[in-house]
Amino acid sequence: MLDDVLSCLECPQCQAGLHRDGATLRCGRGHAFDMARQGYVSLLPPGGRSPAGDTAAMVAARASFLDGGHYASLAGELARLAAAAAADVPGCIADVGAGPAYYLAAVLDRLPGRAGLAVDASRFAARRAARAHPRIGAVTADAWRRLPVAGGSAAVVLNVFAPRSGPELRRILSPAGRLLVVTPAPEHLRELTGPLELLAVDPRKDERLAATFAGRFELQERHEQAARLRLDHAGVTAVAGMGPSAWHANPAALAARIAQLPAVVPVTMAVTISVYRPRPPD
């Protein structure tokens, strides 16, 4: 519910606090943001174009794949780490690039009474996130611009396979909080990358991640998470349709390639969970 996370939100126009007035969020300076009937609110900054968030088809594919339990072990480990990090730190659990909020819901199940804030550029993702857990409030925002989140209001920030702005993640995180980032390892989905012509993992991902957080965060710990999945054609179709490759794939050509695969495909899930602590100001 948005009521649970109001204290963590700020007006995207003037950075004042927000309060609820019926189906509208308002700040003291008169800026107003209407809640969608699906339960989320758009807090995109004024001016410019809205970011190109995931399409309805991409979000549906992601929800279908995650609901199949294929990444349940990842969600469980992420929840364990987040619950430990948030134990003595007040504030919400913010998921930046939350998608349908599958991971955020798993974290909240480990933290009774804690509120969760799902932030995503896609209104289709926000619709699902708003229904993912009773204590989730969902907003649409641009991860590359100032987030509509109050400074230092998050006990834990999650960033799972999502865009990230180092300065903004540092700004919204409590000085005593932790940032948990999930990135794919080079062997992630390797059995599908070639046959389906999917985008491969950037070999410089770790280097770019370090540059993004340089001077703002210190790496506290790193956990390698791997599993061997067995995907049928529906599962393969979902995992191919939920990631960045979906922006470039020809649906008919992709379906033809999937039809050539065995009925059940062994697929590697390999990711890294990195836990960061914020660096104090110089």
Q: Which tokens sit at 149?
A: 């989140």
Over residues 78-100, mean pLDDT: 97
Q: What is the pLDDT of residues 29-42, one digit of tens each?
A: 999 999 999 999 99
Give me the percent of the chain exceeding a pLDDT of 70.
Answer: 98
Over residues 146-166, mean pLDDT: 96
| 59 within 8 A of 100, measured Cβ to Cβ | yes
Angle at 94 between CA 90 and CA 97, to 5 degrees: 170
> What mean pLDDT value characterizes the chain?
94
Cα Rg for the chain, rounded, in angstroms? 19
Whose CA is closest to 196, among 239, 160, 166? 239
Whose CA is closest to 239, among 281, 198, 211? 198
Over residues 258-273, mean pLDDT: 97
Over residues 242-252, mean pLDDT: 87
- Give the pTM: 0.95
CA dihedral over 244, 165, 226, 99, signed as positive or negative: negative
Q: What is the C-alpha separation between 105 and 67, in angstroms, rounded?
A: 12
Residue 4 is inside which H or E element, if any?
none
Q: Which pLDDT does position 282 carry in this prediction? A: 65
Q: Which pLDDT does position 177 carry in this prediction? A: 98
Q: What is the C-alpha separation between 169 and 167, in angstroms, rounded?
A: 6
Residue 240 scores a pLDDT above 90: yes
Q: Which pLDDT does position 209 carry in this prediction? A: 87
CA dihedral over 83, 42, 144, 8, signed as positive or negative: negative
Q: What is the C-alpha separation between 212 and 143, in angstroms, rounded?
A: 13
Q: Compute the residue count for the chain.
A: 282
Q: Which tokens sit at 181?
A: 């980032």
Q: Which pLDDT does position 48 carry in this prediction? A: 52
Angle at 185 between CA 158 and CA 149, to 5 degrees: 15
Residue 20 scores a pLDDT above 80: yes
Over residues 80-101, mean pLDDT: 97
The structural domains of the chain, ordered by start, are 51-278 (3.40.50.150)
Residue 50 scores a pLDDT above 70: no
108 CB-side CA count, 13 A: 25
Residue 53 makes CB contacts below 8 A (sequence gap 6+) with 120, 121, 122, 123, 124, 125, 140
Q: What is the pLDDT of residues 186-232, one digit of tens each?
A: 999 999 999 999 888 887 878 888 899 999 999 999 999 999 999 99
| 92 within 8 A of 153, measured Cβ to Cβ | yes
Over residues 118-126, mean pLDDT: 96
Q: Which pLDDT does position 49 carry in this prediction? A: 58
Q: Could you tell me how far CA 68 lies from the centroid of its own chain?
A: 18
Over residues 232-260, mean pLDDT: 93
